[in-house]
Amino acid sequence: DTGVSQDPRHKITKRGQNVTFRCDPISEHNRLYWYRQTLGQGPEFLTYFQNEAQLEKSRLLSDRFSAERPKGSFSTLEIQRTEQGDSAMYLCASSLKTGQSTDTQYFGPGTRLTVL
């Protein structure tokens, strides 16, 4: 257990439905990342926050994807009008800004999404 939690762990939904995932980072961590991982691939960066500010969102896969971190603590990732191609593992990670360009990230267990 890294201290990062994600909820739910599994989500099955029908095409066209909206889904929302939650990530609770390690409490003192100010950076939070969202990734998507499909079978046989490494994680793919989606977006990240420093405190409540979303500093990079151009990698979000489409305008159906959005993320928030309203109080700089937990974060949510929403996918609207889900498609079968959205089926994947969605990973969250948090880190403490140290001034280095690459800081150690602690990953949550992921939310596995299946779109029928």
Partner 1 sequence: KNEVEQSPQNLTAQEGEFITINCSYSVGISALHWLQQHPGGGIVSLFMLSSGKKKHGRLIATINIQEKHSSLHITASHPRDSAVYICAVPTAGGSYIPTFGRGTSLIVHP
* Residues lying near partner 1 in the complex (CB under 8 A): 2, 31, 37, 40-45, 48, 55-56, 59, 89, 91, 93, 100-107, 109-110, 112
Cβ at position 102, least distance to partner 1 in Å: 4
Cβ at position 68, least distance to partner 1 in Å: 19
Cβ at position 17, least distance to partner 1 in Å: 22
What is the residue whose two structure tokens read 């989606």?
46
Is 85 in a helix, a strand, or coil? Answer: helix
Exposure string over 57-89, b if 16+ CB within 10 A, otherwise e: eeebeeeebebebeeeebbebebeebeeebbbb
**Which lies closer to partner 1 via its Cβ, residue 80 or residue 96?**
96
Pairing of strands 75-79, 111-115: unpaired
**Which lies closer to partner 1 via its Cβ, residue 61 or residue 89?**
89
Cβ at position 81, least distance to partner 1 in Å: 25
**Which lies closer to partner 1 via its Cβ, residue 91 or residue 115?**
91
10 Å CB burial of residue 98 (0-12, 13-18, 19+) is exposed
